[in-house]
Structure 1
Amino acid sequence: MSIKMLYEAIIFDLDNTLLNFELCEHQAILGALEDCAVALDLNGVSETIFLQVFETYNSKYWRHRDIFSPSELIEMSYRSTLAQLDIQTEQISNLSQSFWQIFNHSGVMEPDVNEVLTALAHNYRLAVITNGFVSAQLPRMQAAGIEHFFEAVVVSEAIGFAKPSPEIFHHALSRLNLRPAEVIYVGDSLKHDYAGATQVQMDFCYYNRKNKNLPQEAKPRFMISELLNLLELFN
């Protein structure tokens, strides 16, 4: 039996699987500075340094997302970054608003996404399960021009459960009216994607986009280093 016969549907993660989250975020961080006329070069700071400092604070603050809103977290990240780099501006709340406006319409894709989805759509039903906000994830898919490929897009905010909770996977299966054995899930995160798919007995294809060493206990059904490999496996 060929692999092609095994599955009715392929479900994808979104960030760092179909869309390049880091590049989308970089666009928003730097684009907001430009919108608000905060000139890094006048302050002797490179874009690279600004991004490094911002992301250090951002990853720290996002651990408190149960207490603060996304806008507040981004505002805190700008405030701390600008203070550390000694850049003066009155625009901090505007920076946060501008960030979200840019980020929520930022659709920088991983390599070969269009080609892969176009080919797979001939033989499979396609869907997405993503953690995040509806106001960000759906417009970003539209900005990338890929939303039409998917029969179902399940966003954690909309259903109240996030990966790796089995509930979000069960929700997607019920939308497709399929059993776990009829579906394979493709994602880049062992912690969220692999752990969640495994809990519901769904096969998992690990998109190992940075060629990391696999922990001994992780045993995905398939592993790929680029999305084009999906066509060798499933088409």
Structure 2
Amino acid sequence: MSNCSPLSFDWVLFDADETLFHFDAFAGLKRLFARFEVDFGEAQFHEYQQVNKPLWLEYQDGRISAKTLQEQRFALWGERLGVAPGELNSGFLQAMADICAPLPQVPELLESLKGRYRLGIITNGFTELQRIRLERTGFADHFELLVISEEVGLAKPDKAIFDHALDAMGNPARERVLMVGDTLSSDIQGGLNAGLHTCWYNPNAKVNEAGILPHLEISCHSELARLLA
């Protein structure tokens, strides 16, 4: 890992889900389907993920749109319940907005970076969740930049979504931008594709089997705060 001086960075960019916020999809789905009197358990969640996960890979590869992903992942349940898949997706995002909380140490981290770094978010998540959650947590004021893949029609790890973000940032020197995220294949690979410095947030000490090498690796947000102090 690089020991790059913290003074090297002007901007720090974050992923959102599982980097800044808890994202408990199972709890959100249980909350959604309770409205339809469905007892949504582990078996139903496994079935959902068998559809959802491949769709996310297709979305990240640019093979399907955000709208297609959001509707197709609920197509089967839409048929079962006689409800439009888009309505189920919207209900799910609303449920997630209700239950999503910041990860431990995130409020302290953002407060510590305030005024010393310019902060942004690049997320493959969806507008309906991202914006409302930032407002509810009071985090919106910390970030000068919010790039949501659904809005720009590009997804990490595509270099183009980072180019879009950097344009909006006024094209700072790329080596002075740090990308922090929990997913090697999208956040870290995307940051590397764009020539940024990268930091892998790896709280569960996952083994890196992807061969994607971040410049830095942290297990908690206080570690990042110390690196950027």
Q: Does TM, scored on the shorter chain, surpass 0.5? A: yes
2:45 corresponds, among 51, 60, 64, to 51
Seen in structure 2, the aligned counterparts of structure 1 residues 75 and 200 have a Cα distance that, compared at 3 Å, is closer
Aligned to 2:203: 209
- Once the two structures are superposed, residues 139-162 of structure 1 have per-residue CA deviations (whole angstroms, 9 ceiling, x without a partner) of 232233322110010111222221
Alpha-carbon distance in 2 for matches of 1:214, 1:71: 29
Rounded to whole Å, the distance in 1 between the matches of 2:55 and 2:198 is 31
2:94–2:128 CA contact under 8 A, matched in 1: no
Matched, 1:146 2:125: no
Superimposed CA distance per residue, residues 122-177 of structure 1 (whole angstroms, 9 cap, x where no aligned partner): 31110011113323322232233322110010111222221111111122222222
Distance in 2 between residues matched to 1:188 and 1:195, nearest whole Å: 11
Report the alpha carbon displacement of residue 61 of structure 1 after superposing the two structures with TM: 5.3
Distance 1:97 1:120, change over 3 A: closer
Unmatched 5+ stretches in structure 1: 41-45, 81-88
State the shift of 1:101 in Å.
Answer: 3.0
CA root-mean-square deviation: 2.7
Q: Which residue of 2 aligns with 1:28?
A: 28
1:1-235 alignment, distance < 5 Å: 3-21=5-23, 23=24, 25-38=25-38, 40=39, 47-60=41-54, 66=64, 69-78=68-77, 90=81, 92-93=83-84, 95-104=88-97, 106-177=99-170, 178-215=172-209, 217-235=211-229
Report SS of the residue matched to 2:147: strand
**Whole-angstrom distance in 1 between the partners of 2:188 and 2:81:** 44
Equivalents in 2 of 1:62, 1:130: separation in Å?
Answer: 13
* Deviation readout 1:68-95 (Å, 9 max, x if unpaired): 7345324335368xxxxxxxx7464465
| SS of aligned partner of 1:228 | helix
Following the alignment from structure 2 to structure 1, what is the Cα–Cα distance between the partners of residues 7 and 157?
27
| TM-score normalised over the length of structure 2 | 0.82
Cα distance, 1:8–1:61 mapped onto 2, change above 3 Å: closer
Q: Distance in 2 between matches of 1:158 and 1:225?
A: 31
Larger radius of gyration: 1
Kindly indicate whether the alpha-carbon contact (under 8 Å) linking 2:189 and 2:212 is maintained by their aligned counterparts in 1: no
Q: Name the CA distance, whole Å, in 2 between partners of 1:156 and 1:52.
A: 26
Q: Distance in 1 between matches of 2:190 and 2:57?
A: 20
Query: Residue type of the partner of 2:34?
Result: E
How far is the alpha carbon of 1:232 from its aligned partner? 1.4
CA distance in 2, matches of 1:171, 1:35: 39
Q: Alignment partner of 2:135: what SS? A: helix
**Can you give the 5+ residue segments of structure 2 that lack an aligned partner in the other structure?**
none
Q: For each residue in 1:103-127, what CA deviation from the matched residue of structure 2 results, as whole angstroms up to 9, or x when unmatched? A: 3555332222111111112311100
Change in Cα spacing, 1:76 to 1:63, as seen in structure 2 (3 Å) is farther
